[in-house]
Each structure stands twice: as structure tokens, then as C-alpha cells.
Amino acid sequence: MLDQAYRLRQMATEGGPAETETDKPKIITVTSGKGGVGKSNFVVNLSITLQKMGKKVLIFDADVGMGNDDVLMGFLPKYNVFDIIFNGKEIDDIIMTGPFGVKLLPGGSGITKISELTNTQRNKFIDKLSNLTGFDYIIMDTGAGINRSVLGFIASCEELIIITTPEPTALMDAYSLVKAVNHFKLKTSAKVVINRAMDEKEGQETFNKFKGAVTNFLKLNVDYLGSISEDKKLVQSVRNQQPFVIAHPNCDASKDISKIAKNIIGTMSESKGVGIQGLFNKIFNIFS
């Protein structure tokens, strides 16, 4: 499964972006060691919060098999990004606008067909992406676990955020993911969010425990981005297909997301990234 992972670092650097320096958003990959830890819910609510703070955000739903950012935002896309390549669709046919102007680019399972693309198809697709401009952040929501798809998206980004919970199984799976990232030298650092913490104290203690294991056994730095409180309003919001930062803006979880968003703005805004054309150049090189 991971036999080609050593190639990710080299391939991710090939294929330069075409954007101007002022049009290169920071690429953030959000992933988790296992499913069911609230990763996609985090991505959607974080993106909306960043947008409310004046940042322009594009979500790229890169979960090959089980992408559900669209469902959490309350709509069902008709197409995904690979319809641009294979079915002649335009960016405007694919891109969706969510709450407060957050943009969503559905990924779908077309990633598995990248190896079939001709150079002409790739170049045409990259050219069409030039219409997507003005973003501060592109947040990729990957699948969970350790596989070539997830590792490939990690290799494509500038910043990595790992979501876990205080549950021992979630922490173990998150550690296994960090171990793989460290083993293949895909990143030298990652940021961690503890979801479903009873309170801020449990979030900090859980991270300290996790960081201790990583520091003792791996050569990778992990930083604490924040925690999100366990909140029944989150469950209600998911069932109603309405992000909790909109349905319950004053609940504890919404306040926690706001703190995390401020931390991201404070720690990730110093330099620009590769941009969306550069991102897909990397993705094409990695998954071909």
C-alpha cells in the first residue's frame, strides 16, 4: 500500500504553479488517523469561521470515497472536480458557494483516474483553474487513515492539521498516521486539534500525552492548535445539515472554533503557498 510513498516528496515538488505571487493561497491538509472523529465537521465550521473573519476560503473535498462536506453544508453537488477533465464541465459548473461565501470544490472518486490523463487534458484542466483566484486558504479534507491517497495529499500541502479525540483508539491511530508521515519524511511538523474534549483542560492534557509519545519516538514536531468541546448542539446541527457555527454561534464549540481560526491566522499567514494550480500540478505528479 505504501510502496510508492518514498516518491511523494520528490514528485510533489515537480510542476510549478502558474499563479502570480499575490494569488497563492496557503494549502492546508486536514486529516485523521481514523474516521468518526469529526474531521469534516471541523473543516466546514473552521472554513466558515475564517470566512467570517475576512479570509477567503476554498474547501477541496479530497475524500476519495466518503466525502461529505457538501452534506454538512446543506447541499448536494451535481458534479465534482473531475467532471471538468472527463466531461467537459467548467469551473463554474462545479464550484459551490456555501455560507458566508465559502467555496466548495467537490473531489469525488475521479482521483483514481488521474493516471489515465493525457498531458493535454492536464494542461487544459490547469488552465481552467485560473478562474479560481483571490483565496487566502485552500483547505483539503482528506479521507481518514493511512493510505497512498491521504499521504499524497499531505505531501501536496504546506500545513498539516491532524484531528483526534481523547479516546485511546483515536490517539493510537493518530500516532500511527504521524509515524507514517515521519517515516516517509513528508513533513517535519504538524498541528493537532483535540475534538470532543470535556473541557479545555482535557484537551490540553490529551495533547500533552500525545506530544510526549511523538517526541519520545519520532523526529517530528507537533504543535497544539486547540480543542473543541463536546457539545450536543453539534449533533443537532449535523442532523439538520446546518453548520453549528451558524446554528449555534455562541455555543462552546463555536467559541473553540473561533480560537482555532485565530491561531491559524496568527501562525499560517506569514508566507504564501503554491496556489491552486500549483496544488493540482503536485496532485497530478503524485497520483500519476
pLDDT value of residue 15: 47
Partners of 142 in beta bridges: 62
pLDDT in tens, 16-27: 444 454 557 899
Across the range 147-160, mean pLDDT stands at 90
Q: For the domain covering 5-287, report its CATH number.
A: 3.40.50.300
Name which residue leads in pLDDT, 168 or 275: 168
pLDDT value of residue 86: 82
Q: Is the confidence at residue 143, as pLDDT, over 90?
A: no
pLDDT in tens, 238-261: 888 889 999 999 999 999 999 999
Q: Is the confidence at residue 186, as pLDDT, over 50?
A: yes
What's the CA gap between 251 and 75, in Å, rounded?
24
What's the CA gap between 46 and 73, in Å, rounded?
12
Q: Is the confidence at residue 272, as pLDDT, over 70?
A: no
Q: Is the confidence at residue 6, as pLDDT, over 70?
A: no
CB 160 within 8 A of CB 187: yes
- The CA-atom distances, in angstroms, between 111 and each of 8, 83, 91, 157, 269 are 16, 11, 17, 16, 29
Across the range 59-64, mean pLDDT stands at 82
pLDDT in tens, 79-88: 888 788 888 8
pLDDT value of residue 233: 84
pLDDT value of residue 110: 61
